[in-house]
Structure 1
């Protein structure tokens, strides 16, 4: 880049650009501009202010507490347990209600286990053996039930057997349930009390109807038109989650109860209502060895001789997860100004887009570009520009005069020595050109006269 280029670049750094408003009489671009304006206004009013409530300050830091209780009884009569009545202390784990609890619907019981030695259950790879050295003493059986004693137990003349272990014997019964044990659990009721608070606005509420009647919670049931009754029938919860109670009671599953609080605090507090959603959280469509939900627990006893024994129970059932979320909003001038300013900025973006269409895309873009952009100089720059234009105009006039003289010269050459200038032709020329042409003609006449004298 030469010196002149660097000088121009340096001078351009001190240029200032100001807006120039040009009214373009172009119906297509004008229609496009109005459509963009209408779209932005509708977006700002409908989406930002009506739907999203952009004029409100929001609080999403919801503080929540959940208290749960389950009520109901069930009767069973099995060979392992005999006749038994099940109440809430038997089938709810943990007994203290929280936002996550478990309701037993099925059991596999291994009764009267005592700590002694017995054969490991077949089907466990690390418990299989052929000789005693396959069962090193003191080594626990991986994925098994006890610790190896060093003996390999074989039945009859079989070459393969299982290791003897020290464990709770007999080992756990390995079988899959065929039908749910607590079929009456479908009519159990769940009490879910939820307290919420939005700390930014110091707003608190609960999902229970504010009443002093003691019979309200004993008689009401939750329904589409009764959101302030927190008593849910277990079978209905499973149904609302899209499952069959008998299927989920057989092998277990996980149900989510979602409580959502979306509160518009510009309205009365009574208009802030909880909304409930139910869905099954485990994958009910995939059947595999890990399908359902189960865990093990034991009940311990001592016999008359003081020997400890237990009943091992593999429990299947329904795990309930209560999930609470929400937000609250209230009018504030700050988000209102921010969203209005964003709308105004979008208006400018619409005008910018139409400018691009006007000066770069349509057919008459060069014409509109020349009208939109104009260079304006200061007094010194204007004087220099005027001087440059005057010089350029003077050079142009001289070139025109020279061209006119060359065109007139053949016409001024006479065929005889008695030529006289034609005043009518010179009268049509400009004054300066006419004077120059007359001088040139006189010089030619004098030259011709000298030539004639020499010839004579």
Structure 2
């Protein structure tokens, strides 16, 4: 029986022989296929991004504001100033949702005793008049509060404005009360509930974790997963003072990083 190997076989090695052929036809075919493969890779990775799988995302956001505020208003009744106390709850200071947003009223201007009738328009450059010729019957200016009757009537003293059919008396142009009437809205809380569905992967997630204590309040370090935010804390994180911005409009945007 012959031996499987000998000592001389241990010191043997094999190498491939490469033959270089100078041919225009073979060279053209080689580079043609190289260009085709390179072009497809560039198209797939850069342009069409075929390495990515695109799936639609369905997201829904629900917000709920809670809190009670006591409002102190100074009104004039029969020529006498009175201080009136009112209590505002969620139904009073929130408005119907529009998209993924919520609105909290922190300040307001109130016109007492309004009813539908005829009255002089509030004096502005467009409503001032000296005679009926300065008023057009049936005209409604986009910035007006009513429809003109065509008459020029006395507003106050010697000042005349066009008469309108509207909710009277017309709301006066005044500065917002300072401090804000609902300044205690700083302690209101808002629940932001976000559900995200990936139908292509049959996967649904949300920002409210199972077993989470729903009586919590968000804190950066102590309660970072809590979806209930205090309005005052939201403004503090933006570097603003709630009492200063409560007379203006502030927008809260929600983003999610994957």
TM-score, length-scaled by structure 1: 0.42
The gaps in structure 1 that reach 5 residues or longer are 1-13, 20-47, 49-53, 263-456
Distance (Å, rounded) in 2 between the aligned partners of 1:224 and 1:236: 13
Alpha-carbon distance, 1:192 to partner: 1.0
Distance (Å, rounded) in 1 between the aligned partners of 2:98 and 2:141: 37
More helix per residue: 1 or 2? Answer: 1
Distance (Å, rounded) in 2 between the aligned partners of 1:157 and 1:92: 40
Partner of 1:135: 135
Distance (Å, rounded) in 2 between the aligned partners of 1:202 and 1:247: 46
Secondary structure (helix, strand or coil) at the match of 2:70 reads strand
Distance (Å, rounded) in 2 between the aligned partners of 1:62 and 1:123: 50
Alpha-carbon distance, 1:111 to partner: 1.7
Distance (Å, rounded) in 2 between the aligned partners of 1:155 and 1:186: 40
Secondary structure (helix, strand or coil) at the match of 1:122 reads coil
Asked whether the 8 Å contact 1:121–1:171 carries over to 2, the reply is: yes
TM-score, length-scaled by structure 2: 0.70
Query: Is 1:163 the counterpart of 2:162 in the alignment?
Result: yes
Distance (Å, rounded) in 2 between the aligned partners of 1:72 and 1:157: 45
Alpha-carbon distance, 1:200 to partner: 2.4
- With over 3 angstroms needed to count, the CA separation of the structure-2 counterparts of 1:218 and 1:197, relative to structure 1, is same
* Bigger CA radius of gyration: 1
Q: CA RMSD in A?
A: 3.0
Query: Is 1:145 the counterpart of 2:142 in the alignment?
Result: no
Partner of 2:193: 193
- With over 3 angstroms needed to count, the CA separation of the structure-2 counterparts of 1:241 and 1:62, relative to structure 1, is farther
In the alignment of these two chains, the number of paired residues is 209
Alpha-carbon distance, 1:157 to partner: 8.6
- With over 3 angstroms needed to count, the CA separation of the structure-2 counterparts of 1:224 and 1:60, relative to structure 1, is farther
Secondary structure (helix, strand or coil) at the match of 1:112 reads coil
Q: How does 1:7-406 map to 2 (within 5 A)?
A: 15-16=24-25, 18=27, 57-59=52-54, 61-80=56-75, 82-94=84-96, 99-125=100-126, 127-154=127-154, 158=158, 161-177=160-176, 178-211=178-211, 216-224=213-221, 226-260=223-257, 262=258
- With over 3 angstroms needed to count, the CA separation of the structure-2 counterparts of 1:57 and 1:71, relative to structure 1, is same
Alpha-carbon distance, 1:60 to partner: 5.6
Distance (Å, rounded) in 1 between the aligned partners of 2:219 and 2:60: 20
Secondary structure (helix, strand or coil) at the match of 2:196 reads strand
Distance (Å, rounded) in 2 between the aligned partners of 1:99 and 1:90: 20
Asked whether the 8 Å contact 2:65–2:189 carries over to 1, the reply is: yes
Distance (Å, rounded) in 2 between the aligned partners of 1:98 and 1:189: 20
Asked whether the 8 Å contact 2:57–2:197 carries over to 1, the reply is: yes
Distance (Å, rounded) in 2 between the aligned partners of 1:169 and 1:119: 9
The gaps in structure 2 that reach 5 residues or longer are 1-22, 29-44, 76-82
Asked whether the 8 Å contact 1:66–1:192 carries over to 2, the reply is: yes
Distance (Å, rounded) in 1 between the aligned partners of 2:107 and 2:219: 26
